[in-house]
Chains A and B, each alone.
Chain A
Amino acid sequence: MSTVAAATRPPSRGRARAIHRHRLAVLAGLFGALAIAAMLSVMIGAKPVPPADVWHALTGPTGSENDIIIRSLRIPRTAVGVLAGIALGVAGALMQGHTRNPLADPGLLGVTQGAAFAMVLSIMVLGVTSLYGYIWFGLAGALIASVGVFALGMAGGRGAPTPVTLALAGTAVSAFLYALTSALVLMDEQAMDVFRFWQAGSIAGRGGDVVWQVLPFIAVGLVLALINAPGLNALSLGEDVARALGQNVTLTRTIGVAAITLLSGASVAACGSLAFLGLMVPHLARPLSGPDHRWLLPYSGLLGAAALLAADVIGRMVARPGELEVGVVLALTGAPFFVFLVRRRKPVRL
């Protein structure tokens, strides 16, 4: 109840201004980190491109080899990375806030497995072979799975589902869909060949059209997430307190689930399973932002994008001239850091 006590005793005006300045400074710092990561992501690869050539390609392309590499490969790839990183970071923070479960990540609400199942089905039944074709199915699968999870959480009870119910429903639906996916994949070698590369999680080879396909979903998701932030702050005091404060709990939950679904569905459909980003980033952002979701969500988004790009750059550097999938790099670098955080002190309880 210390949160309530703190809230009823507002800090002095000077102190409030100092806190605000500090938060803006952190926000600017995160923007800087993202800019550096994006610059590196454009410069580094199988063929390194010097900064001057990057500038040339951006401002006045003349069709040189470097211009083509930058404009047709590196920039779309970086853009997909930024979008997916922001989306997964914000979705992770929303999910952990709504379920009040520090282990929540996009896998939990069945999103990843829903996308996987729909994509494999489209490959097998409709013979869709291109990434641009099955990305729509992935998105649809993600939407259906997470709406289904939420509906199951609601079934049989009145009002919004409890965190545990939601988490259990998500686990059950994920396991169910994963089993169906592996059954399908085991019967069709061609589908498995596509599936295994998507599953490993990568932003390589995603063209500009993938960016435009996922951008509307992520944009709407981000707007919903920001609308959701004040309500989520009230909900973190407990549902009864939130209701007493005049919150429409069901509406807040519904907006939250819609935002989570759009954000994680779009990024999962585009990049495959990027484990760990949505789980890890909010834990890193929370010490910087405090419990206020109006700050936690933007911090998580920026941090998520910077982390995803950094991991992708590392993947391109360690296995030259080939590359390691970003999903693998994220898990290998993110997990030790996460374990270190867990060991160093008690994780921030939600």
Chain B
Amino acid sequence: MTSSPVRLPHERPVRPAHARSLRLGSTSWLLRLRSATVALVLLAATVLLMALGMRIGDIPMSVPEVFQAITGDGSDHFVVMELRLPRALTGVLVGAALALAGAITQAIARNPLASPDILGVTTGSSVTVVAVIVAAGSTAGGASGALAEVGIPLMALAGGLAGALTVYLLAWRKGLDGYRLVLVGIGVSAVFTNVKYWLLTVGDVTDSGRAMVWISGSLNGRGWEHVVPVAIALAVLIPLTLVGTRSLGALRFGDDTVTGLGVRMNLARGLMILAAVLLAAVATSAAGPIAFVALAAPQIALRLAGVGQPPLVVSALVGAVLTAASDLAARTLFSPVELPVGVVTAVLGAPYLIYLLIRVRREARS
């Protein structure tokens, strides 16, 4: 893959307008000015939304007070650093991880409807967590204390990875076909979803309620122990996926073309899927399956950056903004009732997708 850049016969080697190349040894990336600007704006929005979110709580603060509390010491310092900052960070990191996983999945499946749900991750972890909450429910003294803090994220991670492994093994047949992967994923997800529904009918109504909050995706009571795993996953996987984007760009041309272009297709695709699965599983274990971020963020990012395929970094930032804004809305709209963030991501994300649909059709007509 270090050979000279690929050229289709009829194509002159042109560089897209407003793009610069970023060279590192033998590899190079295109650096698009529009993408870079969008990324910076999104980064600023993320920080602002985090600060706005950290104002809320038993002791209301203003944004300057939040920043003062971070630098200073005293009771506010403890509240912000131990309670509010980890919650805000969990939201932002989880959003970024889910969006990144969605962008990779959509590029591989060549389908804007693909999301990590199809890979069995979110449904797999939902089943195991509902099982834990229901099984350890009222009869076993409730899923509280150590089991709730360590057991649920661990079970979610295990369930997510097991779900993805099931889909992968069932879809593998002398290689991995994107179309077959999606079909198998739909099948496996349907099983998990219905088992989850059944588990919800087995348990006590209060336990089922708690399980429903978890499977809606919630950031309530998230601490540093939730931040660290997601942060590590992102720190390791973002650079790896950026290297992988070169093959990802080729994957959309179709299997035969890609093999002809000299990309080791199954290896490239397998590694990228593994990255998507890990990101989604870690994110889900921290905050539950927050709906729609993985599906909507890459599509939003694609329009913002004005490119043909979900851009990874911009997608991650859109995911962070979407999640942070949704959590803010979830906590303030029906105050004092705090909704799970996943409810709001869906309510916000879905109309945006509808708006996009209408706009795209209108553009296609004119």
Q: Of the candidates B191, B206, B213, B337, which one forms a contact with A332 in the assembled complex, judged by CB atoms under 8 Å apart?
A: B191
Q: Of A162-170, A256-264, A285-293, which binds chain B?
A: A162-170
**CA of A334 to CA of B190 in the docked complex: distance in angstroms?**
10
How many residues on A have C-beta within 8 angstroms of the other chain's C-beta atoms?
Answer: 53
Q: Is A186 touching B209 in the complex (CB atoms < 8 A)? A: yes
Q: Of the candidates B291, B346, B353, B364, which one forms a contact with A157 in the assembled complex, judged by CB atoms under 8 Å apart?
A: B364
A16 at the interface (CB under 8 A from B): no
**CA of A200 to CA of B170 in the docked complex: distance in angstroms?**
25
Nearest-neighbor residue (CB-CB) of B216 within chain A: A182
Q: Of the candidates A176, A185, A325, A335, which one forms a contact with B201 in the assembled complex, judged by CB atoms under 8 Å apart?
A: A325
B-contact bits for A166-182, CB 8 A (1 contact / 0 none)? 01110111011011101
Nearest-neighbor residue (CB-CB) of A103 within chain B: B186
Given A192-B212, A197-B201, A156-B194 contact (CB < 8 Å) = no
Given A172-B350, A335-B188, A343-B180, A155-B198 contact (CB < 8 Å) = no
Chain B contact patch, size range: 35 or more
Interface residues of B in 274-292 (CB under 8 A from A): 291-292
User: Which of B212, B339, B345, B357 lies at the interface centre, i.e. has the most chain A CB atoms within 10 A of its CB?
Assistant: B357
Q: Is A196 touching B208 in the complex (CB atoms < 8 A)? A: yes
Q: Of the candidates B170, B212, B337, which one forms a contact with A182 in the assembled complex, judged by CB atoms under 8 Å apart?
A: B212
Contacts of B190 in A (CB 8 A): 275-276, 279, 331, 334-335
Q: Is B191 touching A335 in the complex (CB atoms < 8 A)? A: yes
Contacts of A342 in B (CB 8 A): 180, 183-184, 187
A244 at the interface (CB under 8 A from B): no
A4 at the interface (CB under 8 A from B): no
B205 at the interface (CB under 8 A from A): yes
Q: Is B197 touching A201 in the complex (CB atoms < 8 A)? A: yes
Contacts of A103 in B (CB 8 A): 182-183, 186
A324 at the interface (CB under 8 A from B): yes
Contacts of A330 in B (CB 8 A): 194
Q: Is B183 touching A179 in the complex (CB atoms < 8 A)? A: no
**CA of A347 to CA of B170 in the docked complex: distance in angstroms?**
15
Q: Is A156 touching B361 in the complex (CB atoms < 8 A)? A: yes
Q: Is A179 touching B359 in the complex (CB atoms < 8 A)? A: no
**CA of A347 to CA of B183 in the docked complex: distance in angstroms?**
9
**CA of A155 to CA of B113 in the docked complex: distance in angstroms?**
20
Tell me, rounded to whole Å, the shortest Cβ–Cβ distance linking B117 to chain A.
11
Nearest-neighbor residue (CB-CB) of A176 within chain B: B350
Given A186-B212, A338-B187, A175-B291 contact (CB < 8 Å) = yes
Q: Is A176 touching B346 in the complex (CB atoms < 8 A)? A: yes
Q: Is B182 touching A200 in the complex (CB atoms < 8 A)? A: no
**CA of A187 to CA of B361 in the docked complex: distance in angstroms?**
38
Contacts of B205 in A (CB 8 A): 189, 192-193
Nearest-neighbor residue (CB-CB) of A199 within chain B: B197
Interface residues of A in 293-350 (CB under 8 A from B): 324-325, 327-328, 330-332, 334-335, 338-339, 342-343, 347
Tell me, rounded to whole Å, the shortest Cβ–Cβ distance linking A246 to chain B.
24
Interface residues of B in 203-241 (CB under 8 A from A): 205-206, 208-209, 212-213, 216
Tell me, rounded to whole Å, the shortest Cβ–Cβ distance linking A262 to chain B.
24
Q: Is B198 touching A200 in the complex (CB atoms < 8 A)? A: yes
17 contacts between A and B (CB under 8 A): A171-B113, A173-B350, A176-B350, A179-B345, A185-B212, A186-B339, A187-B337, A196-B197, A196-B201, A275-B190, A279-B190, A327-B198, A328-B198, A332-B194, A338-B183, A342-B187, A347-B183
Known pairs A155-B358, A187-B337, A273-B197; list 5 more (Cβ under 8 Å). Answer: A161-B361, A196-B197, A279-B190, A331-B191, A347-B179
Top 10 nearest A-B pairs (CB, nearest first) are A179-B346, A176-B350, A331-B194, A157-B361, A156-B358, A156-B362, A156-B361, A172-B353, A200-B197, A172-B350
